[in-house]
Amino acid sequence: MKYLLTQQHPNKRAFITGAASGLGKAFAIELAQDGWTLGIADINYDQLAIAAKEFEALGGKIISFQLDVSDRVQYQQVAKEFLAKAGGIDLLFNNAGVGDGGAFEEYSLDNWEWMTRVNQFSVIYGCHFFIPTFKKQKSGHILNTASLAAISCAPTMGAYNMTKAAVVAISETLYGELMDYNVKVSCLQPAYFKTNIAQGMRGGELVKKTTQFFIDHSKLEAKEVATEILQRAGKGELYIILPEPARKQWRLKRLAPTWFRKMVKVKFMAAARKVR
C-alpha cells in the first residue's frame, strides 16, 4: 500500500473526472498501482480508452465513462451507473476543467458561461450527486481541484479566477457540512505544472502564449503534484496548496493584500511582454 488513503478506504473506489490526461490521469495512475476500482470519466473517450489500458496494466479495476461534466443530466446518469457498479464511493475527484482568459469586458459572455459550466458547475454536480451516498456510508473524501489562480487572481484571467475561487468556497462550505458524517474535503490549489490546459483556450493568442510561458517554466510534473496531493489528503488537509512558493503567495496575500495585488500584476505583465 502506497497511500494512507488506501488504508483508510479499504473498499478502494474512486471516481475521477478529466482522467484521460494531466492531473486526472496522474491520480488514476497512482491509485491504480494501489489496486483501486476507478471510475474514470472524460469528454475525450478515445484518449480515455488508451489511458484505461494503462491503468489496468498497473493493477486498477476500470469503469470508463464518456462525460461532458457541464451536462447535468449526463453527469447524473454516469454517477448513478458508477455507484451501481462499484457499490459505493470512497474518493471523488472533481478534477475536470478548462483554462482560459481575456480582458474582462472583451471575454465573450458565451465564454464566461462555458467556463462557469465546466469549472464550477461540474464541481457542484459531482458533489450534489455523490454526497447522499457519502452521507449514507458515513465515510469518504471529496477532492476538488481549484488552482493557485483562486489566490493570485492575475489580470486577464477573470473567468478562470472566479470559477476556481468558487471551488474553494464550495470546499470550505462542505468541509463544515460533512465533518459530522466522517466525510472529508480537500481543496487542491496547485501552481502551474506541466499540462495541456492551454490547448483549448478561446481568449486569444496573448493569453494562450502567456499561460504556456508559465507552464513551460514550471518545474512541476503532474505526477509530483498528484503524489503530494494524495499524501496530504491522507492527512486530512483541507487546503492543499503547492509547491512551497504557492503557499508563500497564500500567506503574502493574507498579510499584505494590496501589495500582493500589485506584485501579481507586475509578474503577469512581465511574462506577457516576453511572449508578444
pLDDT tens for 114-124 read: 999 999 999 99
Average model confidence (pLDDT) for the chain?
Answer: 92
Which three-class secondary structure state does DSSP give residue 235?
coil
What is the grid cell recorded at 139? 465515510
Residue 198 confidence (pLDDT): 47
pLDDT tens for 181-227 read: 999 999 999 987 746 664 565 555 556 555 655 565 557 788 999 99
Residue 211 confidence (pLDDT): 60
pTM: 0.92
Farthest CA pair distance, the chain: 54
The CATH class given to the 8-275 domain equals: alpha beta
Any idea where the domains of the chain sit in the sequence? 8-275
pLDDT-derived band at 35, boundaries 50, 70, 90: very high
pLDDT higher than threshold 50 for residue 41: yes
pLDDT higher than threshold 60 for residue 48: yes
Residue 197 confidence (pLDDT): 60
Residue 275 confidence (pLDDT): 65
Distance (Å, rounded) from C-alpha 265 to C-alpha 242? Answer: 21
Tell me what the mean pLDDT of segment 70-77 comes to. 98
| High-pLDDT (> 90) share of the chain, % | 82
Distance (Å, rounded) from C-alpha 172 to C-alpha 238? Answer: 8
Which helix (H) or strand (E) is 99 found in, with range?
A: none
- The one-character DSSP state at 197 is G
pLDDT higher than threshold 90 for residue 83: yes
Residue 2 confidence (pLDDT): 86
